[in-house]
Amino acid sequence: MKVLSTQWLWRQRWIAAVVVLPTLATAAYEGLLASDIYVSESRFVIKAPAQKSAQISTLANLIQTTGLSGGQEQANEVIDYIRSRSALAAVNRGGAVAAMFGRAGVDALARYPGVLGRPGQEHLFRYYSAMVNVAMNHETGLVVLKVKGFAPGDAQRLNQQLLGLSEDLVNVLNARAEGKQVAEAERRVALAEARVQKARAALGAYRNAEALIDPARQAQGALEVANRLVGEQAAAQAQLDQIREATPRNPMIPALLEKIAAMGRAVAGQNGRVMGPPGAIASKMAGYERLAQEQEFAAQNLNVANAALEQARVETLRQQYYLERVVDPALPDEPALPHRIKIVLTVLGASLCLYFVAWMFIVGILEHAPED
C-alpha cells in the first residue's frame, strides 16, 4: 500500500509542481504577507462660469460632437499633468512620496522600490503611475482620481495634494490666457495714447509757431468784421452821394470821404489777414487741418482701443475655467486591495490551463512517436 501511495505521488509530481505549489505559495503570500492597500477616491469637473444650459438644435449637437465640449480640453490637460513627472516632483518634495510608498511594515514585493528595484526617479515614476489612476468618465463628464496607499491617511493626503495642484494648474492656465489677450489689448491702448499725445504736441507746437488757435474761427471772425465794414462803407457812400446831390459844398463831404477810404483800408486789411500774402490765415489752414485731423483720428483710435481692452477683459472672464470638486478625497476605512481570493483563483486557473496544455502537448508527442 505504501508503495502504491509513493508511486501515485510520483505520477502526480507535475500537477503538484505546476498547479498545487504555485497555488499554495500564492495563497500563503496573500493570506500571510501581502499588505493591505487603501484607495482614496475623489471626483471633480472643469467648468466655465458662462456655460450655457440651454438646449441647442440637433444640427448644432452634430457639429459640437466633432470637437471638445466646454471644459473637457482643460480637464484633459489636468489629467495629463497628474500623470506627469512634474506632478510627482511637486508632491515628492523632501522625498515624501518615496517615504510613503516605502514605509516600514509593508511587504517587500509591494512596497517601493521592491525586491529587485533600485531607488531612483525613473523607478519611482513607474511606481507612482501604478499607484495613481486618473481618468475621465465620459458618461458623467467627471474626472475620477484614485490614489492607492498602504495607510488610509497616506492615500487621502496624496489625493488632496494632487487636487490642490490641479486647481493651481487651472488658475495658471487662466492667467496665461488672460495675460495674452489683455496684454495685447493694453499694448494697443498704449500705442493709441502715444499717438494722441504726439498729435496734441504737434498741433500745439504749430499753434505757437503760427500764432493762431483755430484758423477757421479766426478767418470767420475776420470775414465777419470785413463784411460789417463793407456794410458800413456802403452806408457811408450812400450818405455821401445824398449830401453831394443836396449840397455839393457841404463841409461834411471831406470827412465822409476819409471815413469811406478808412473803411476800405480796414476791409482790405481784414481780407489780407485771411488770404493773400504767405502769412495769411488761408496759407496756414492746410497744415492746421492736417494736424487737427490726425489728432481727431488718434482720439477715435484710442476710444476703439479702450473699448477693445474692456471687451478683452470681459471675454477672458467669460472664458475662465475653474475646478469644482464634486467628491472630496475620502478617508478609506477598509482596504480595497488586494483581492486575495480572486488572485488565488486566478493563479489556480492559470496553473491548470498551463498544466493541461503541457499535458496535451506531451500526449500528442507520445502518440506520434515511432514505436521501437
**What is the three-class DSSP state of 42?**
strand
Confidence of residue 99 (pLDDT cuts 50, 70, 90): confident
The whole-angstrom separation of Cα 211 and Cα 281 is: 10
> Rounded to whole angstroms, what are the CA distances from 338 to 25, 35, 224, 274, 329?
16, 8, 104, 102, 20
**So what's the pLDDT on residue 147?**
94
Does residue 63 lie within any of the structural domains?
Answer: no
**So what's the pLDDT on residue 292?**
74
Does residue 36 lie within any of the structural domains?
Answer: no
> Rounded to whole angstroms, what are the CA distances from 349 to 19, 237, 337, 354?
9, 133, 20, 9
**So what's the pLDDT on residue 255?**
75
The segment with the largest mean pLDDT, out of 92-101, 264-273, 305-314, is 92-101
Those residues with Cβ within 8 angstroms of residue 202's Cβ, 6 or more apart along the chain or in another chain:
291, 294
**Three cell numbers written together for 234:** 456802403
Does residue 260 lie within any of the structural domains?
Answer: yes
Confidence of residue 54 (pLDDT cuts 50, 70, 90): very low
Q: Which string of DSSP letters, residue by residue, matches 325-344?
A: EEEPPP--SS--B--HHHHH
**What is the three-class DSSP state of 322?**
strand
Q: State the CB neighbour count (10 A cutoff) for residue 16.
A: 14
> Rounded to whole angstroms, what are the CA distances from 336 to 19, 35, 151, 311, 322?
27, 11, 11, 52, 31
| Phi, psi of 323, deg, nearest 5 | -90, 120
State mean pLDDT over 102-125: 79
pLDDT digits (tens, 9 = 90+) for 288-347: 667 778 888 888 888 888 887 887 777 666 667 888 899 999 888 887 767 667 777 887
Confidence of residue 270 (pLDDT cuts 50, 70, 90): low
| Phi, psi of 250, deg, nearest 5 | -65, 130
Does residue 297 lie within any of the structural domains?
Answer: yes
- The two most distant CA atoms of the chain are separated, in Å, by 181
State mean pLDDT over 104-130: 81
| Phi, psi of 286, deg, nearest 5 | -65, -50
> 212: closest CA among 204, 200, 201, 220?
204
Q: Provide the residue range defining the domain that includes 275.
A: 189-317
Considering only residues 370 and 155, tell me which one the structure prediction assigns the higher pLDDT. 155
Rg of the chain on CA atoms, in Å: 48
Helix 21-28 × helix 340-367 angle, to 10°: 170
Using an 8 Å Cβ cutoff, are 332 and 156 in contact? yes
State mean pLDDT over 62-74: 52
Using an 8 Å Cβ cutoff, are 294 and 199 in contact? yes
Does residue 334 lie within any of the structural domains?
Answer: no
**So what's the pLDDT on residue 365?**
73
Using an 8 Å Cβ cutoff, are 303 and 311 in contact? no
Query: Going by DSSP bridges, is the β-strand pair 142-149/38-47 parallel, antiparallel, or unpaired?
Result: antiparallel
pLDDT digits (tens, 9 = 90+) for 274-293: 565 555 555 556 566 677 78
Does residue 127 lie within any of the structural domains?
Answer: no
Query: How far, in whole angstroms, is CA 371 from its chain's centroid?
Result: 79
Q: Which helix (H) or strand (E) holds 44?
A: strand 38-47
Does residue 65 lie within any of the structural domains?
Answer: no
pLDDT above 70 for 235:
yes
pLDDT above 50 for 81:
yes
Using an 8 Å Cβ cutoff, are 154 and 39 in contact? no
Using an 8 Å Cβ cutoff, are 282 and 274 in contact? yes
**So what's the pLDDT on residue 89?**
93
pLDDT above 80 for 53:
no
Those residues with Cβ within 8 angstroms of residue 117's Cβ, 6 or more apart along the chain or in another chain:
123, 127
Considering only residues 162 and 292, tell me which one the structure prediction assigns the higher pLDDT. 162
pLDDT digits (tens, 9 = 90+) for 180-231: 777 778 888 888 888 888 888 877 776 666 656 566 565 555 556 666 766 7
pLDDT above 80 for 350:
yes
pLDDT above 90 for 25:
no
* Number of compact structural domains in the chain: 1
Using an 8 Å Cβ cutoff, are 316 and 181 in contact? yes
**So what's the pLDDT on residue 214?**
61
| Phi, psi of 133, deg, nearest 5 | -125, 125
Does residue 275 lie within any of the structural domains?
Answer: yes
